[in-house]
Amino acid sequence: MKPLPSIESKPLRKHYDVVIVGGASMGSAVAWYLSSNEDFKGSILVVERDPSYQWTSTAASNNCMRQQFATEINVHIAQYAAEFVKNFRTNLGGDPAVPDIPIQNFGYLYLANNEDFAGILRRDQKLQASAGAGTRMVTPEEIRAEYSFYKLDDIVAGSLNVVDEGYFDAPAMVNWWRNKARENGVEYITNEVTSMNRSASQVETVRLRSGELVGAGMVVNAAGPRAQLVAQMAGVDVPIEPRRRYTYIFSAEKPLHRDLPLTIDPSGVHFRTEGRNYLIGCPPLDEADPAVGYEDFSYEAGIWEKKLFPILVNRIPQFADVKIVDSWVGHYEFNTFDRNAIVGPHSQVKNFLFVNGFSGHGSQQAPAMGRGVSELITYGGYRTLDLSPFSYDRLERNAPLMERAVI
């Protein structure tokens, strides 16, 4: 691959066929799929306010891959993602500079501490199995036989899958999408969309922070937790807000004898293997899980001492002596309507497309979403996986497609 020029701050053209607002996971997925499609002949501009991705959900991602969802379409989306990353270099054209992105298949284990939740896991397992996922229900005794380090006195059942479930390098995927999209002629700029001008049925132009007014054939909202701000510029609304999530990396004085599956404790705290260390994460102390400011990446006082460590050591007593290695706060782009993606055009503003609302699943859902949105733009409809259940009009019909399996 030839060295790419530096990313400039101002656009080269006055009009683009597609303007993508946001260049992280979703924006770069759409840009790469679209620019790699021989049937698409148009120009593409990606406007990204933070090209380092430092404050994006992509950078804060825990890089998870799983098929244990409560809606069938999300299972199929995850299956496509797994196949895509397992064949990443080939899918990006076979360039030897492109790395392999293997899935570290230590698996996902949901734990239920009451029969009601166990019943939900059993129902979801049947759905997942019918869609081809390798999920199986396990008893506490079966869990102990495979993972002797857990304390399971309060657990009645678990849901386990170790096939294409675990960890993958999502930032590498996004960076290579961006590189290859730019190689294909996509223009990335370090800038910010500050307003839009629209007629009754479409966005005509977008204004950049640097002052330029850029014409747009289509506008794609790929702004992650800022999706609502971008939608409001187009005079529409989307029920997405930033919600705080904590991640800590820790080392253990007494490491486990085998990989730790990504374990979802009934409390909502989750933990897994992270190389030679371990990762643990959770929502806020406040069970209401309120929205936070777009620039608020602060820690709640006591989140480690009051929530994370007590639950960790209760579930895995061997972790009584641990040392924090790193930590960060990230934002979910949380869809308050049904915790599921919103994809496709607005019902009234036909050239304004959403690819938003992934509620913590964006990294693994980006391959299918990028492909689907590129098909919508190029052909006017989906040609592979039908993503129409995620259309915006379900909000207007008050017909939620609820995804329960949100961590």
Q: What is the CATH number of the domain that holds 56?
A: 3.50.50.60
Same domain, 223 and 206: yes
Same domain, 309 and 353: no
Same domain, 269 and 327: yes
Last residue of a domain, one of 309, 334, 359: 334
Give the per-residue pLDDT at 362: 87
Last residue of a domain, one of 334, 353, 382: 334
Same domain, 159 and 196: no
Residue 196 lies in a domain: yes
What is the number of domains present in the chain?
2
Residue 402 lies in a domain: no
Same domain, 185 and 234: yes
Same domain, 252 and 379: no
Same domain, 265 and 317: yes
Same domain, 311 and 346: no
Residue 81 lies in a domain: no
Residue 70 lies in a domain: no
Residues spanned by the domain of 280: 106-166+241-334
Residue 312 lies in a domain: yes
Same domain, 160 and 177: no
Residue 89 lies in a domain: no
CATH code assigned at 320: 3.30.9.10
Residue 86 lies in a domain: no
Same domain, 255 and 304: yes
Asked if 248 and 281 touch (Cβ cutoff 8 Å), the reply is yes
Same domain, 366 and 289: no
Q: What is the pLDDT along the chain (407 residues), one digit of tens a residue?
A: 567 878 889 999 999 999 999 999 999 999 999 999 999 999 999 999 998 887 777 777 788 899 999 999 999 999 999 999 999 999 999 999 999 999 999 999 999 999 999 999 999 999 999 999 999 999 999 999 999 999 999 999 999 999 999 999 999 999 999 999 999 999 999 999 999 999 989 999 999 999 999 999 999 999 999 999 999 999 999 999 999 999 999 999 999 999 999 999 999 999 999 999 999 999 999 888 999 999 999 999 999 999 999 999 999 999 999 999 999 999 999 999 999 999 999 999 999 999 999 988 889 999 999 999 999 999 999 999 999 999 999 999 999 999 988 87
Residue 5 lies in a domain: no
Same domain, 245 and 235: no
Measuring CA to CA, which residue among 21, 38, 70, 394 is closest to residue 239?
394
Last residue of a domain, one of 334, 359, 379: 334
